[in-house]
Amino acid sequence: MRITIFLIVFFFCLALNPLKIGAEELLESNEPITIDSDQMEWNREEKTYTASGNAIARQGKVRIEGDQITAFYSGTEKNNKIDTINIIGNVKVINEGYTAFGDRGTYKVKEGFLTLKGKNLKIESGEDKLTAKDSLDYYKEKNVFVARGDAVAIREGNIIKSDDLTAYLSKTSEGGNNKIEKVFASNNVIIKTPKETATGNRGSYETKTGIVNIYGSVIITRGTDKVYGEYGQVNLNTGISKILGSPKKSKKGKKQVRAIFTLDDDKKDKKN
């Protein structure tokens, strides 16, 4: 039997002394937080509420799923608020426009900070997917996800790799879905398309235009041919790439671009 609880109003319907929980925003709104699960446990001494078995927490348009959800609260029985929510096992965060996955997660209510960890860390948003090795961190105030550790962004066979990727979300329209708008790559950037590979120190990606900008020690490789520069641009939609000695707004002296092309005879010799 499924059990539902409304955390902002009460934990359990106690006839004489109901426990009221003043929950602040989970991810989106001031609406009540509700949790459904197969089993519920309330620990007054530790001030925890644990939902086990197909647990689902909802607030507004946000839905969080997990094998177990534990809410930690503070205050007295008559005046309480939720401080932290822990999710364990098959974690899924579903919001309008994206779904995030992990093995375990923690949400700090006051800070508006959600972190997901585990082996299956990813965000799916329309045509775009982000994965990470160490953690996926969400900052509610900025509406930003940060993929940390061997982060990868994927769109239709095109791949962007970096130590960390920061994905900025925006609503498609007034009251519309969240969508990844921009992605910033901080270190050791690698862009792979079906035809070429580009590397650099840092980069940015705009999902609307499909354009990836790469900065610092840029190399674009197609087969055995290479082009070197300080600034590069790869259009994932058209497959067209270009490289410059330095960005147009750079205050430093402009450097030249170098290209190294392997002739057909050289390629044949390498194969032999």
- Please give the helix or strand (H or E) that residue 14 lies within, else none: none
- Type of residue numbered 117: K
| pLDDT at residue 28 is higher than 90 | no
**89-129 pLDDT per residue, tens:** 999 999 888 899 999 999 998 888 999 999 989 999 888 89
- Residue 73: band (very low, low, confident or very high) from pLDDT cuts 50, 70, 90: confident
Q: Of the candidates 272, 269, 263, which has an alpha carbon nearest to the alpha carbon of residue 223?
A: 263
Longest CA pairwise span in the chain (Å): 90
Average pLDDT over residues 34-39: 90
Under DSSP, the state recorded for 121 is E
Specify the pLDDT at position 170: 84
**135-192 pLDDT per residue, tens:** 999 998 888 999 999 999 998 889 999 999 999 988 766 556 678 889 999 899 999 9
In the block, which residue shows the tokens 């969508």? 179
Specify the pLDDT at position 21: 39
Over 38-68, what HEC string results? CEEEEECCCCEEEEEEEEEEEECCEEEEEEE
Tokens of 148: 């940390």
Whole-number mean pLDDT of the chain?
81
- Residue 245 to residue 218: CA distance in whole angstroms: 9
In the block, which residue shows the tokens 């909802």? 58
Specify the pLDDT at position 112: 86
